[in-house]
Structure 1
């Protein structure tokens, strides 16, 4: 498995929050739900995505944005429109004063907004209304930490930059009320996220992580695949060099130049990123995780985890556990 495949192996939506919004202009929604990641697919009319610390990004019909949390942001029909709606933790919608809007703006199955024609489905909606579909991963454990760290705050992929049947399929499925529909929508959201990120990482202008570009190198690429295929193996620079057909010095120098850190430092980071994700699994133990990521004992994993991440594996598990 290559490094990108490992990176994209993380998304696992579990009861993700998916919503079709139908909003009449001027509209503006402040998202303060603390979610780790949200996809927004613009179906009709434009939207601006504004963060508190970056430039506004335009999302046109057919485009998809991936927005990394938990910091708040605003989605609006106009760049300067002040928010009239606030989405809070638990996907509770209120006005800016805190009065709930959920029931008042309910338009049917997974549909919400202020266009009265939207209650009758797309046929009754005003052409002036903005229509967008959002899918929100609600817990950090659903998205691997290594994936989140590789993403910009806001990623926008225009509709003409790629071709996929997934947005249309999601638009069709989101308003259905069938047995097992939640699972169908979770898997569609995962597939859409993976498809968008794979397209985005492949674009030459993308500020992708250094290891992504290094995958194409004839020496470093195979070394990365070896590390990702079997992180539990007791790798040494000497063995990696032998397997890739170069000297230890040549591999160490080339790997550091292209990836930004030596091979063993990269391996440690990869192992601990895997461990951080595995520790969120309810049945895992520090001992079982240690074995899976290449540490000889729970103590060895705990020592490395605390040295690099500043907390013990148990503290990490408690901090990332979903609220009951």
Structure 2
């Protein structure tokens, strides 16, 4: 595992609304389903992404955008077009009058709009996000990020479009997994764009020393790591690792590790019935008391309170640094 893989582990498309819209201007599709992440691809034609707050962002043919909630977004052509369809949770859509769309708007499986040969063709799908670690990534993304068509994977878009037309058993599962793959590839493409400023932990993964240290901590979080032991495994001195790690990641190695362990524990507390004692040992603490002390220091609450949904956890120093890095990346070119 690496940092991006771990952060995306709780981001899944499950039974997702994945639809194809074919329309002639003027049109506007409003996404109001409450999901934290929505992916849209402009297969044909062009449009504008119109967030509830902020300026419209152009979406050219072939471009893919990731829209972050909470809050609604519209994709429209032109940008000020009246809403012609509102996408809600539960695979339901409303027409411009707020009434559920009828079969007259249905052009086939998961397809609606004017006519199959309409000027604009839009693919859309949304994700569920669960877990503390994945929320870190999602909450720090900009409201809108766009990957230009020449940096997207045409084969993946074609697979999704073909699967929408395929009513074979297992279609929903295939679409869900394709949507997961689309998110990962789009984020990597966006992070790697010239002029972009990806988060510190992402760029640090390319460093032969710090990247190895990060992978060791992510692959074996329960190991009794020290800076000296990490440095030995990375083939450098303790001072070199401490200096380079802080320079590239923004926090000392043990601060990063403590925050990562507590984040994993937070996910296990909410997602399993495993005892606090067992979770403590699984993430690298000697007992429940040690985990509780770290949890209280970094989150301002206890593991038990967190499991019950109580308390008001606070971001740790490394979490805040990651968020700042990701938000800063949004200042780079997005389309």
Say whether the fold is shared (TM-score over 0.5). Answer: yes
Spell out, residue by residue over 1:264-303, the C-alpha distance to the aligned partner (whole angstroms, 9 max, x if none).
Answer: 1111222233233334435545444333322233343344
Corresponding residue to 1:236 among 217, 226, 243:
226
- Say whether 1:183 aligns with 2:169: no
| Equivalent residues of 1:19, 1:111 under 8 A apart | yes
Counterpart contact for 2:66–2:144, Cα < 8 Å: yes
Distance 2:28 2:134 in 1: 30
- 1:53 aligned partner: 53
In structure 1, C-alpha distance between the alignment counterparts of 2:212 and 2:278, rounded to whole Å: 28
Residue 170 (str. 1) matches residue 160 (str. 2): yes
TM-score, normalised via structure 1 length: 0.83
Unaligned runs of 5+ in 1: 118-124
**CA–CA separation in structure 2 for the residues paired with 1:96 and 1:308:** 47
Alpha carbons 1:145, 1:273 under 8 Å: kept: no
Task: Please show how residues 285-296 of structure 1 align to structure 2 within 5 Å.
Answer: 285-296=275-286
1:186-197 → structure 2 map (5 Å cutoff): 186-197=176-187
* Structure 1 residue 126 displacement after superposition: 3.5
Q: How has the CA–CA distance of structure 1 residues 134 and 244 changed in structure 2, closer, same or farther, with 3 Å as cutoff?
A: same
Give the paired residue count: 310
State the Cα distance separating 1:155 from its structure 2 match: 1.7
Q: For the residues of structure 1 that align with 2:141 and 2:249, how far apart are their CA atoms?
A: 17
- Please say if 1:137 is aligned against 2:105: no
- Name the structure 2 match of 1:29: 29
Q: 1:158 to 1:185 in 2, by over 3 A?
A: same
Aligned to 1:68: 68
Confirm or deny: 8 A CA contact 2:31 2:72 kept in the other structure.
yes
Question: Structure 1's 299 and 54: CA in aligned 2 closer, same or farther, altered over 3 A?
Answer: farther
Q: Distance in 2 between matches of 1:217 and 1:157?
A: 25
Q: SS in structure 1 opposite 2:20? A: strand
Select 1:161's aligned residue among 129, 143, 151: 151
Distance change in 2, residues 1:237/1:52 (3 Å): same
Query: C-alpha displacement at 1:44, in angstroms?
Result: 1.4
- Residue 120 of structure 1 corresponds to none
| Structure 1 position 46, deviation (Å) | 0.8
User: Partner of 2:145: helix, strand, or coil?
Assistant: strand
Tell me what 1:227 maps to.
217
Partner Cα separation in structure 2 for residue 151 and residue 304 of structure 1: 27
Report the CA distance between 1:74 and its aligned residue: 1.6
